[in-house]
Structure 1
Amino acid sequence: MTGQEHPPPTDPRERRRLARRHEIMDVALAIAEGEGWEAVTTRRVARSIDYSQPVIYQHFASRDDLVAAIARRGFDTLTGEIESVARAGGARPFEGLCRRYVEFGRRRPRLYEVMFGAPTSLVFATADTPEELRRTFLALRELVARGHQSEDADGVTEFFWACCHGLVSLLLAGRIPETRVEEHVRRIGHLLDG
Structure 2
Amino acid sequence: MIGGPALAGDALTAFFARDAEEVARSLLGCRFMVGMVGGLIVETEAYFPDDAASHSFRGPSKRNAAMFGEPGNVYVYHIYGMHWCVNFVCRPGSAVLIRALEPEQGIAEMAERRKLDALPALCSGPGKLCQALGIDLTLNDRKLDCPPYALFKGAAPVATMVGPRIGITKNADAPMRFGVAGSRYLSKPFPKTSVSIP
| TM-score class, shorter | under 0.3
Give TM-score, length-normalised by structure 2.
0.24
Give TM-score, length-normalised by structure 1.
0.24
| Structure possessing the higher relative contact order (Cα contacts under 8 Å, 6 or more residues apart) | 2
Higher Rg of the two aligned structures: 1
